[in-house]
Structure 1
Amino acid sequence: SARLVSGGPAVISEGLGFSVDLKPSGDDLVGYRAKPHSGVVDLDGIAAHDPAEFWEEIRSSAGRIILDPGAFYILVSREAVHIPPDYAAEMAPYLAMVGEFRVHYAGFFDPGFGHDDAGGAGSRGVLEVRCHEAPFVLEHGQIVGRLVYERMSARPDALYGQGIASNYQGQGLKLSKHFRM
């Protein structure tokens, strides 16, 4: 059977813990911060927008970044995520008591996300993060959320991304399909 995460033992406490990747191999690009003032994204346009008009690259060789209050970030999980065909998962806060940042805005994973047979081996979870009232230091490998798995009432006819060249199946750090990469 496939592992639920790669990169180490599963940390399970009211869900499967996952951490942030701030030491990518071969590069120092660790994420993106949304520009505070930008245009409107045309959701019908695939690869229609220049990322530089909407996002600032976040680079770090130290394995840590400081989140600015009110800013919105795109980061990526250190672990590759696997959602078996008979399950779906929701991203939830690791600790509800930690109110400095939130990581579960785009928090639903369909059956088959990251599943080998659906072409998803190595799929990372893209993390949409917002920092709240004070600057917050994030360290490489810091647990930032958990996946809460739920068994489906029936196995779906098609798995996530299977046979359609999904933009997100098999992903690493990336912006949505609306941006040229």
Structure 2
Amino acid sequence: MIDSISDGVLPDNLLHALAKQGAISAPTTFCDTQFQPASLDLRLGDYAYRIRASFLPGAGRSVAQRLDESDLVLHKLNLRDGGVLETGCVYLVPLQESLALPELVNALANPKSSTGRIDVFVRVITDGATSFDRVRAGYHGPLWVEICPRTFSILVRPGDRLTQLRLKKGITPTLERHDLNLDLSHASLGPIIGYRARRHAPLLDLAKIGKHAPRDWFEPLTAHHGTLVLDPGEFYILASQPGLSIPEDIAAEMVATAEDLGEFRAHYAGFFDPGFGAKRGNDRGARGVLEVRGRDVPFVLEHNQPVARLIYEPLSAPPDAFYGENGSHYQGQGLKLSKLFEAWS
């Protein structure tokens, strides 16, 4: 099957086929909603290790070996009845999914949009890994996810989906690079041009979709003369100019940091599936919602400033469904918080 397809990002039908062949496996039945047009949602396992520092296992060593051989583990947390992951702490959780990839297939992980928009930093780790979020071609073994809530403590359970995996065959060519420009205009966005996270906010329960009052976690922002000053270490939700639309034969990724664009991290969650922004009756496309964190010094953002960069890659085959066809909280989006929150009022 894999030998006969073109190099590129694997769509939903090929992800289903790999799952049926055992190349992607789990002790529990897959949910159909895990399979996105060009990515697979990954589910948390039953427990979490609170660790004192992030780490990579390194070539020839497994994650489990590193945990057993070191004093990195502070305690083990059972997630079956819900577990609180606290702000500023680092946790390591086994994922339910494991891989036995064909030799021509590699993978890349990224946080889901709802994870990035609540300032939860997540990275996938494999056995023998020397880098985060990258799965080498032909990898056989378990998957782990490192979780670090930056601003809000979160309540999680087994099966929660904080991260996603994009599988690729061969060396996927980059078709195009495209900068996204920031929108700080009241004329297009209205009175609120962004949100800043509140410190010392209540606990966020990831099972309560649309049940959290956003004002308890965020404060609204207005721009003065089209500028906004980022404070170091603070977390912001901002929006790009409208017009983002991903063609149906393309998968896109927003790079987490483009070093030449400014003193800030511009995006945590980076996958855009084919068909994103192509909402019927909406010729303007969607906006890219930006999860922005200031770095070491205050930094002035200006309206229409480039703030993030997209790269485009081909699909290896057409998907069965495009983004938004099976329902999505973010299709055709404007400036929007995570799906955990009620509409702003």
Does the alignment reach a TM-score above 0.5?
yes
Call closer, same or farther: CA 1:59–1:75 in 2, change over 3 Å. Answer: same
- For residues 54-133 of structure 1, the aligned pairs below 5 Å read 54-92=217-255, 95-98=258-261, 100-116=263-279, 122-133=285-296
Per-residue CA deviations over 1:141-171 (Å, capped at 9, x if unaligned) read 000111100111111100011142x210011
Task: Indicate whether 1:15 and 2:15 are aligned.
Answer: no
Do 2:262 and 2:307's aligned partners in 1 also have CA atoms closer than 8 Å?
no
Call closer, same or farther: CA 1:115–1:35 in 2, change over 3 Å. Answer: same
Structure 2 CA distance, aligned partners of 1:83 and 1:118?
Answer: 16
Q: Secondary structure at the match of 2:323?
A: coil
Which amino acid in structure 2 is aligned with residue 69 of structure 1?
Answer: P
- 1:156 aligns with 319
Structure 1, unpaired ranges of 5+: 1-13
- 2:335 aligns with 173
1:62 deviates by 1.4
Do 1:33 and 1:71's aligned partners in 2 also have CA atoms closer than 8 Å?
yes
Structure 2 CA distance, aligned partners of 1:101 and 1:173?
Answer: 19
Q: Which is helix-richer, 1 or 2?
A: 2
When the two structures are aligned, how many residues end up with a matched partner?
A: 167
Q: Secondary structure at the match of 2:215?
A: helix
- 1:24 aligns with 186
Task: Indicate whether 1:134 and 2:297 are aligned.
Answer: yes
Call closer, same or farther: CA 1:156–1:113 in 2, change over 3 Å. Answer: same
Structure 2 CA distance, aligned partners of 1:35 and 1:121?
Answer: 32
Structure 2 CA distance, aligned partners of 1:142 and 1:55?
Answer: 24
Do 1:22 and 1:63's aligned partners in 2 also have CA atoms closer than 8 Å?
yes
- 1:46 aligns with 209
- 1:9 aligns with none
Call closer, same or farther: CA 1:64–1:19 in 2, change over 3 Å. Answer: same
- 1:34 aligns with 197
- 1:3 aligns with none
TM-score (norm 1): 0.84
- Which one has more relative contact order, counting CA pairs under 8 Å at least 6 apart? 1
Q: CA RMSD in A?
A: 2.1
TM-score (norm 2): 0.46
Identity of paired residues, percent?
51
Do 1:31 and 1:75's aligned partners in 2 also have CA atoms closer than 8 Å?
yes
Which amino acid in structure 2 is aligned with residue 169 of structure 1?
Answer: Q
Do 1:33 and 1:74's aligned partners in 2 also have CA atoms closer than 8 Å?
yes
Do 2:261 and 2:306's aligned partners in 1 also have CA atoms closer than 8 Å?
no
Structure 2 CA distance, aligned partners of 1:170 and 1:108?
Answer: 15
Q: Secondary structure at the match of 2:186?
A: coil
Which amino acid in structure 2 is aligned with residue 15 of structure 1?
Answer: R
Q: Secondary structure at the match of 2:292?
A: strand
Q: Secondary structure at the match of 1:52?
A: helix
1:116 deviates by 4.1
